[in-house]
């Protein structure tokens, strides 16, 4: 049985220390191996030993939230699913620091966030170890010159597929029509997932994100898909 403890967190105890940037340097979306010069502030590479004992419960991650943003979905999921360990991956340092301050302050045993660029791979995770991956409301990068920043590619799918257990699920959500179409095209090119569109949110059965709440309040359609290995 899932119980929502999320509202018991008093977020007034955890004010943001400074304004969180919406975007980061374009080179942060390029693998380190492809850069001739490493830009200042580029997220460090992660090794397996870096995430050993990362969670307060001493267990390993079995859930990923890629692009976890300010982390309220991550925190809510952790509190509703005590048997899962959810790891958030985020390019910006400010939300990662804030998320982990809440986790430590509230002693949430099964959540953690790391500052990392997922384009550098997931070698720090064991193959066939992940049950669910969330890739929710990514930045659409509408300008043509910014399309290279879009993480969702066949290469991305190949990377996560190796880490997913049999019958593991990839959850996708966006309110942008062309992002949805591009993701479906790439999934079709990859060809290894069973893809199901979720029309009724009751079938989604996940905590609501800040972006999703905004869409529901403004009556903006949200495209949702569950992709099963």
Secondary element (H or E) of residue 172? strand 164-174
Alpha helix ranges (H) inside 39-197: 48-51, 72-80, 93-106, 154-163, 177-190
Rounded to an integer, what distance in angstroms lies between the CA atom of residue 30 and that of residue 36?
11
Catalytic residue among 139, 175, 177, 202: 139
84 part of the active site: no
- In this structure, the dihedral spanned by the alpha carbons of residues 30, 35, 37 and 43, taken in order and rounded to 10 degrees, is 40
Which tokens in the block code for residue 5?
């403890």
Rounded to an integer, what distance in angstroms lies between the CA atom of residue 35 and that of residue 68?
25
The catalytic site residues sit at 139
């Amino acid at each position: 049985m899932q119980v929502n403890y999320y509202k018991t967190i008093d977020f007034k105890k955890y004010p943001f220390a400074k304004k969180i940037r919406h975007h980061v340097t374009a080179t942060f979306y390029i693998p380190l191996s492809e850069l001739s010069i490493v830009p200042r502030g580029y997220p460090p590479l992660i090794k397996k030993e870096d995430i050993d004992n990362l969670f307060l419960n001493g267990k390993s991650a079995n859930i990923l939230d890629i692009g976890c943003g300010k982390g309220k979905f991550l925190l809510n999921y952790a509190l509703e699913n005590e048997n899962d360990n959810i790891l958030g991956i985020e390019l910006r340092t400010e939300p990662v620091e804030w998320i982990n301050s809440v986790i430590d302050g509230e002693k949430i045993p099964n959540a953690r966030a790391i500052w990392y660029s997922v384009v550098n791979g997931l070698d720090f995770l064991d193959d066939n170890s992940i049950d669910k991956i969330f890739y929710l409301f990514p930045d659409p990068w509408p300008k043509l010159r910014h399309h290279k920043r879009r993480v969702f590619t066949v290469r991305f799918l190949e990377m996560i597929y190796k880490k997913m257990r049999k019958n593991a699920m990839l959850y996708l959500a966006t309110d942008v029509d062309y992002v949805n179409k591009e993701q479906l095209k790439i999934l079709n090119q990859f060809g290894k997932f069973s893809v199901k569109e979720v029309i009724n949110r009751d079938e989604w059965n996940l905590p609501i994100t800040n972006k999703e709440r905004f869409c529901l309040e403004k009556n903006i359609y949200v495209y949702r898909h569950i992709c099963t290995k």
